[in-house]
């Protein structure tokens, strides 16, 4: 098992890793029971109350190659979470670009951030949050408690996710990418992608290994980096 360094509270586990990366080892995991400034994608806040969920960041420093985009580690993390959640009686799925959903509601968010010395792969997973707490989130969200109907052991789930993640890290990158491409299930689908008011409609022809969608609008193929996909 990797070295898990626990804190009762941090501003953000990603921020902690980015600030302290020089002293941290490859494979270390920073875990916080709560975060006061949990970071989401696109400058959003990640709701991080104490005693309920998992907020952790994996430190990666070795074998990083400029050829492998940061987004690839998000892909590995999403596959690791997906596999772990499949051990419960729920049906999780991946939503491009990097969400894990159950019944159309977000259960997990992933944010990979890099600096010169390495990578911080942050995972926030709603484990034992109840309905009234989930209602405080401005987007449709769910938790393992809500979906499985029972409180779940956070340590066991963390261990499972980390085992999966480090297994994926050893695998052939192309194989993992293919697995992810299948899980996001977007190829040849007719989609509408909304990104900060900009709407792109068309058929998804492919996803690049940087995670960009190639959407055929009928007038040409455009690259879409982020946004909400609907069908």
- The pair phi, psi for residue 216, each rounded to 5°, is -85, 110
Distance CA 167, CA 27 (A): 12
Pick 17 or 145: Cβ nearer ligand BTN: 17
Name the β-bridge partners of 105: 102
Rounded-to-integer distance, Cα 34 and Cα 37, Å: 9
Task: Kindly state whether residue 38 participates in binding ligand BTN, applying the rule CB under 6 A.
Answer: yes
Residue 142 near ligand BTN by CB under 6 A: no
Contact (Cβ atoms closer than 8 angstroms) between residue 127 and residue 52: yes
> Cβ contacts of residue 220 below 8 Å, gap of 6+?
none
180 binds ligand BTN (CB under 6 A): no
Residue nearest ligand BTN (C-beta atom): 109
Nearest distance from C-beta of residue 38 to ligand BTN, angstroms: 4
Among 3, 6, 20, 44, binds ligand BTN (CB under 6 A): 44
39 binds ligand BTN (CB under 6 A): yes
Please give the size of the binding site for ligand BTN, defined by CB under 6 A.
20
Interatomic CA distance for residues 101 and 109, integer angstroms: 9
Identity of the residue, 85 or 111, whose beta carbon is nearer to ligand BTN in the bound complex = 111
197 SS3 class: coil
For ligand BTN, the closer of residues 39 and 202 by Cβ is: 39
Q: Contact residues for ligand BTN (CB under 6 A)?
A: 12-14, 35, 38-41, 44, 46, 55-57, 99, 109-111, 122-124
């Amino acid at each position: 098992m990797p070295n898990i360094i626990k804190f009762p509270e941090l501003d953000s586990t990603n921020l902690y890793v980015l600030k302290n990366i020089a002293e941290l080892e490859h494979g270390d995991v920073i875990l916080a029971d709560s975060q006061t400034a949990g970071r989401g994608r696109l400058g959003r806040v990640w709701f991080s109350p104490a005693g309920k969920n998992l907020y952790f960041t994996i430190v990666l420093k070795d074998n990083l190659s400029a050829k492998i985009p940061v987004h690839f580690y998000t892909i590995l993390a999403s596959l690791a979470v997906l596999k772990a959640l499949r051990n419960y009686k729920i049906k999780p799925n991946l939503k491009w670009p990097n969400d894990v959903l159950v019944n159309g509601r977000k259960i997990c968010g992933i944010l990979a951030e890099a600096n010169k010395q390495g990578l911080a792969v942050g995972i926030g997973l709603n484990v034992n949050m109840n309905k009234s707490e989930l209602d405080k989130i401005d987007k449709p969200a769910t938790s393992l408690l809500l979906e499985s109907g029972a409180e779940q052991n956070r340590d066991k789930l963390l261990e499972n996710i980390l085992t999966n993640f480090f297994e994926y890290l050893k695998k052939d990158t192309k194989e993992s990418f293919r697995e992810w491409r299948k899980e996001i299930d977007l190829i040849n689908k007719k989609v509408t992608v909304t990104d900060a008011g900009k709407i792109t409609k068309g058929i998804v022809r492919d996803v690049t290994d940087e995670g960009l969608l190639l959407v055929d609008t009928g007038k040409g193929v455009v690259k879409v980096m982020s946004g909400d996909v609907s069908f």
